[in-house]
Each structure stands twice: as structure tokens, then as C-alpha cells.
């Protein structure tokens, strides 16, 4: 759904903009008015009542400010808890990903249905392949008894007219952890013991019922307090804000928001590449059968949850976000670091106790767009020519699927030209689970495994704005334009071990 404007994306944009505007203005008493600004008028545009639309907008506002959802059965103000949230230091309180129950459509769970395109053919292939006798013919048309159906899909495969379709909740289909079930009312419910906060469910829900928490409010509070806030920008940022906001203008645009300066996370990706290449050469296969990359936090969490006995085979290298943040704080003691990227799972990573002192804020590209809107930053009017040129092409490639493993493979091939490095990559957590299952069975010994929670890589993260294929193409061009092509040519190459 990325890159397709809709009512859902419009509301998200308005929420982030109004929360940012309120934070910049400092008038927190306006919070009760925000649902009326976000959803103006008297008549509902998309739901059964304008009151419901405003209630949902209100909960989105709270989550964007890092506040919890309000209990439906109790009367509370929208602004309850705002004083505790209006601070410059506040980490994400669990759960990070939330379902607004009264926004959920209670979509049907997985089932196969016969459409009007059934021709009542004489071969009756669907009936013939059904092992549970769940298909009958009524008035010459195929019908499925949902009580008997085991959802195997053989009937859909057998139908020569493709008249049988699989219907599944978009959020459930998107969740590679099988962490979404149903509550007693048939609404979606997240099992937070399995959820790794990849965010794919929230961008797949066509009703906008799933929302993650934000730190826009706290970040702007820190800027207004006078903190030196340095933005570290994930390489997937290229093209996210359209063609008018070029990489060369990004620093100038960010300074208009109050940021002190900008550093590209491709620098940390270079350090991550060098460290993982060294680890692979030292440990595979002598100390461990294979090695998985470490840059995607949702992929790492998936291994922790589903394959705890395989954790030792995942690289211990810090992620590019953390390596960049530590480098920045080493150079600027006392500063605050804000990671700006495509990823919901980075919010969870930054809230961990051993990372909290490194990364103070995590915002998505969508949330940053809200800040630009709030400050009336028109991209065409931004004046600046300060290219982000410290990261290499290898590091910039981390933004797309296959880019991490390719970067590590490149370094290894240059360090030891005769060493063959077998690589396997998986996109989406369901495919990642299959890959680790193969590795656990000993089928991928000697391999370098790259796992990406988002199909397409970071450019497909939950906080991205542009269509995935266009963003991927732009990252490729950004790689080609890099002054440095090799990770080992980074001016910070000797810092990798010092930052661990």
C-alpha cells in the first residue's frame, strides 16, 4: 500500500503534522481540538459516523505522542497523561504496535469462497480434489461448507476458471510471525509475546486500525529545550520526500526543523560491513556452521523468539543505527541522536536498555514528513548544497534486499579473493523462518544469511512513503553516485572495534 494515497495515509499524515505543530507551538491545551482539525465538518466521509472517525483520530494522536490507548469502557480526556509525555526524554512504553479496537473491521478469517464466476462445469474439479467433502453443487453452482473446509486451497488450484478465491485478513497475511489472532468480538488481536514490531501489519490494514507509537512530541521538546539534536539518516531516505528534496538539500531542510546537523547511517553500515566480514572469515565454519547478518532488528527478534538455539549463529555486530549513533556521540559529547528511517522495529531496538544511551529518538520518514508540514517547509524553496558523502556504495546498499549480504560478500572477496562466500537471502519474516529452518537442519552450512523482515528490504519498511519499486531504483542510483564505492575506503573504518 506504500505510495498509494488513501484516506488512511491522509489521516496518518494529518496526525503527525498536527502533533508536530502542537509541539512546536507549545500549546498542549489544543490537544482536545486536534480530532476536529484532522476530521473537519459534520458528516463522516468513510465510516458510519463522524464521531467514530474523530474518536479514531484521537487515539492516533495519543499514540503519535507515545501515550497509551484509552480504555473504551471508561471516560477519560484525550489529553490524559500529556504532562508526563511533554518531556525531552521518554522511551517507548510497550506495546509499541497497537490495535484501535473500534477501528478494526473484524475482517473474515482465512477461508476459501466461490465467486460468481463459477460456471458449474461438468468436470467438477473442485469437488473431486476436496478430501473433506466440503464442496457441494447447489443449482449447478459450487458451494463450500466452511464447517468442513480445512483451508487447504486444493479446490482453488483445481478450478479451471479461477472462480474460487482465498480470503484472508490483510494484517494476518502480512504478519510473518503468526502473531495476530482474534478477540471475542472477531477483531484482530496481537500476541505481543510473538510480535517483533516489524510494522507490516500496520501498513497492510486497509482500515487503519493498527498504529505504532511515536516520539515526535518528545523530539521537538528536546529541540526547543536547546539540546544539540543530530539526525542520523537511514540510506532508504533517498526519494522518500519526492524529487524536490534531493540528498544535497537534506541537511538544510533538517536544520529548518531545528536539527543541528545530519549524518548518513551509511557510515555505520560501512562499519557493520567490515565487522561482519571479519566475523565471517574468523568463525565460519571453524566456530559456527553459518552466520546471519545483524542489521534488521525484527529479523534478529524473530530468531530470538522462534529459534533461540540458533542465536549464536547470528552476527553480534551492532546495527548501522547504533554504530552511527555511537560515533556521533563520541564526536559530540552531550548531544542527542535522532534516527530517521523507514523502520518501526528500530523504535523497539532503541528502547532496549543497552541501546538507550546511544539513540535518543527514532522517527519514521512519515513522521519526519509531518514535521516538514508543521513547519511549512516547502521542498522547492529549500536552499542548500551539502551532500551526504561519507558513506560508501556498499553502505548505501543496506536499504534494499540483498544489499547487506552483497556488501559483506564484496569485502570478503577483496580481502580473500580465493574465498567462496555462499549467500542466501530472505525477505519477509515468514520466508526468513523457512531459511533459518533450513540452516538449523544443516542445509546451509558455510553460508552467509541475510534476513529482512520487510519484503523488498528497508525501502519497504512500515514508515516509508514512496512506492517500493521506485524507492529501490533510486537507492541504486544513489549507490552509483557515491564518492566511495567500497566500505573499507571509509574514513571511519578504524572505528568499528572501538565502538563495540
Domain ranges in the chain are: 7-106+175-217, 111-167, 226-499
Please give the DSSP secondary-structure letter assigned to residue 468. Answer: H
Half-sphere exposure of 484 (CA within 13 A, CB side): 22
> CA 441, CA 447: separation in Å to the nearest integer?
13
Q: Coil, strand, or helix at residue 499?
A: helix
Measured CA to CA in angstroms, residue 100 lies from 97, 188, 189, 263 at distances of 10, 9, 10, 36
> CA 67, CA 81: separation in Å to the nearest integer?
7
Task: List 212's β-bridge partners, or say none.
Answer: 97
pLDDT of 87 > 80? The answer is no
Question: Is the Cβ–Cβ distance between 50 and 42 less than 8 Å?
Answer: yes
Q: Could you tell me whether strands 210-212 and 97-99 are parallel, antiparallel, or unpaired per DSSP bridges?
A: antiparallel
**What CATH number has the domain spanning 111-167?**
3.30.70.20
**Second-level CATH architecture of 226-499:** 3-Layer(aba) Sandwich (3.40)
Range scoring the smallest mean pLDDT among 12-16, 27-31, 89-93, 445-449 = 89-93
Among 428, 39, 426, CA closest to 198: 428
Write the DSSP assignment of 19-45 as a string of letters: HHHHHHHT-GGGGGGHHHHHS-SSS-S
Are 7-106+175-217 and 111-167 equal in CATH topology? yes
pLDDT in tens, 217-236: 999 999 999 999 999 999 99
Query: What value does the mean pLDDT of the chain take?
Result: 94
Q: What are the residues whose beta carbons fall under 8 Å from the beta carbon of 53, sequence distance 6 or more?
A: 39, 44, 45, 46, 47
Give the start-end residues of each E strand in 382-441.
422-427
Question: Is the Cβ–Cβ distance between 298 and 432 less than 8 Å?
Answer: no
Reduce the secondary structure of 322-336 to three states and give it as a string: HHHHHHHHHHCCCCE
Confidence label for 93 from pLDDT (cuts 50, 70 and 90): confident
> CA 363, CA 223: separation in Å to the nearest integer?
14
Q: Could you tell me whether strands 291-292 and 447-452 are parallel, antiparallel, or unpaired per DSSP bridges?
A: parallel
pLDDT of 3 > 80? The answer is no
> CA 250, CA 387: separation in Å to the nearest integer?
8
Among 167, 170, 192, CA closest to 179: 192
Q: Could you tell me whether strands 111-114 and 164-167 are parallel, antiparallel, or unpaired per DSSP bridges?
A: antiparallel
User: How much of the chain, in percent, has pLDDT values that exceed 70?
Assistant: 97
> CA 446, CA 288: separation in Å to the nearest integer?
9
> CA 380, CA 369: separation in Å to the nearest integer?
14
pTM: 0.94
Task: Specify the pLDDT at position 494.
Answer: 77
Please give the DSSP secondary-structure letter assigned to residue 150. Answer: -
Set of cell numbers at residue 38: 484532522
The dihedral of CA 322, 327, 330, 334: what is its sign? Answer: negative
**Second-level CATH architecture of 7-106+175-217:** 2-Layer Sandwich (3.30)
pLDDT in tens, 113-160: 999 999 999 999 999 999 999 999 999 999 999 999 999 999 999 999
Half-sphere exposure of 252 (CA within 13 A, CB side): 17
Using alpha carbons only, what angle is made at residue 482 by residues 477 and 488, rounded to the nearest 5 degrees? 130
Please give the DSSP secondary-structure letter assigned to residue 314. Answer: B
Based on DSSP, count helices (H) and strands (E) in the chain, helices before strands. Answer: 20, 15
Confidence label for 416 from pLDDT (cuts 50, 70 and 90): very high
Confidence label for 28 from pLDDT (cuts 50, 70 and 90): confident
pLDDT in tens, 314-336: 999 999 999 999 999 999 999 99
Task: Specify the pLDDT at position 88.
Answer: 56
pLDDT in tens, 161-178: 999 999 999 999 999 999
**Alpha helix (H) residue ranges in 205-284:** 216-225, 247-257, 266-283
The residue whose grid cell reads 466461490 is 114
Among 140, 115, 144, 151, CA closest to 127: 144
- Chain centre distance of CA 425: 18
Amino acid at each position: 500500500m506504500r505510495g498509494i494515497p488513501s484516506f488512511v495515509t491522509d489521516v496518518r499524515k494529518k496526525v503527525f503534522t498536527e502533533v508536530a505543530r502542537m509541539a512546536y507551538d507549545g500549546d498542549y491545551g489544543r490537544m482536545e481540538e486536534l480530532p476536529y482539525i484532522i476530521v473537519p465538518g459534520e458528516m463522516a466521509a468513510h465510516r458510519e459516523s463522524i464521531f467514530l472517525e474523530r474518536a479514531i483520530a484521537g487515539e492516533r494522536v495519543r499514540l503519535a505522542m507515545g501515550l497509551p490507548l484509552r480504555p473504551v469502557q471508561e471516560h477519560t480526556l484525550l489529553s490524559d497523561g500529556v504532562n508526563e509525555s511533554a518531556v525531552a526524554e521518554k522511551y517507548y512504553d510497550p506495546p509499541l504496535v497497537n490495535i484501535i479496537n473500534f477501528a478494526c473491521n473484524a475482517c473474515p478469517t482465512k477461508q476459501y469462497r466461490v465467486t460468481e464466476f463459477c460456471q458449474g462445469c461438468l468436470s467438477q474439479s473442485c469437488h473431486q480434489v476436496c478430501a473433506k467433502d466440503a464442496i457441494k453443487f447447489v443449482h449447478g453452482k459450487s458451494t463450500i461448507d466452511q464447517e468442513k473446509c480445512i483451508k487447504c486451497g486444493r479446490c482453488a488450484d483445481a478450478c479451471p476458471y479461477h472462480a474460487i478465491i482465498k480470503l484472508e485478513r490483510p494484517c494476518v497475511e502480512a504478519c510473518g510471525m503468526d502473531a495476530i489472532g482474534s478477540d471475542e468480538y472477531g477483531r484482530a488481536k496481537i500476541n505481543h509475546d510473538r510480535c517483533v514490531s516489524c510494522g507490516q501489519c500496520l501498513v497492510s490494514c486497509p482500515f487503519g486500525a493498527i498504529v505504532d507509537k511515536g516520539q515526535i512530541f518528545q523530539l521537538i521538546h528536546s529541540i526547543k529545550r536547546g539540546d544539540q539534536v543530530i539526525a542520523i539518516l537511514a540510506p532508504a531516505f533517498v526519494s522518500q520526500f519526492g524529487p524536490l528534496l534531493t540528498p544535497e538539500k537534506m541537511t538544510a531542510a533538517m536544520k529548518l526543523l531545528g536539527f543541528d546537523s545530519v549524518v548518513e547511517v551509511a557510515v555505520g553500515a560501512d562499519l557493520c560491513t567490515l565487522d561482519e566480514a571479519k566475523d565471517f572469515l574468523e568463525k565460519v565454519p571453524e566456530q559456527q556452521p553459518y552466520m546471519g547478518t545483524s542489521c534488521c532488528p525484527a529479523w534478529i527478534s524473530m530468531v530470538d523468539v522462534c529459534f533461540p538455539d540458533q542465536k549464536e549463529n547470528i552476527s553480534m555486530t551492532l546495527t548501522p543505527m547504533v554504530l552511527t549513533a555511537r560515533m556521533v556521540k563520541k564526536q559530540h559529547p552531550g548531544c542527542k541522536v535522532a534516527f530517521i528511517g523507514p523502520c518501526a522495529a528500530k523504535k523497539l531496538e532503541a528502547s532496549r536498555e543497552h541501546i538507550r544511551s546511544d539513540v535518543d529518538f527514532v522517527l519514521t520518514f512519515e513522521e519526519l514528513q509531518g514535521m516538514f508540514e508543521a513547519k511549512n517547509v516547502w521542498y522547492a524553496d529549500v536552499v542548500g548544497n551539502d551532500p551526504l558523502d561519507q558513506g560508501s556504495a556498499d553502505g548505501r546498499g543496506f536499504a534494499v534486499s540483498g544489499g547487506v549480504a552483497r556488501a559483506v560478500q564484496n569485502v570478503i572477496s577483496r580481502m580473500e579473493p580465493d574465498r567462496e562466500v555462499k549467500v542466501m537471502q530472505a525477505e519477509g519474516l515468514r520466508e526468513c523462518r523457512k531459511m533459518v529452518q533450513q540452516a538449523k537442519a544443516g542445509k546451509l552450512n558455510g553460508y552467509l544469511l541475510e534476513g529482512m523482515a520487510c519484503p523488498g528490504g528497508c525501502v519497504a519498511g512500515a514508515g516509508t512513503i514512496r512506492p517500493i519499486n521506485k524507492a529501490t531504483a533510486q537507492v541504486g542510483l544513489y549507490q552509483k553516485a557515491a564518492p566511495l564505492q567500497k566500505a573499507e575506503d571509509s574514513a571511519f573504518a578504524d572505528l568499528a572495534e572501538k565502538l563495540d
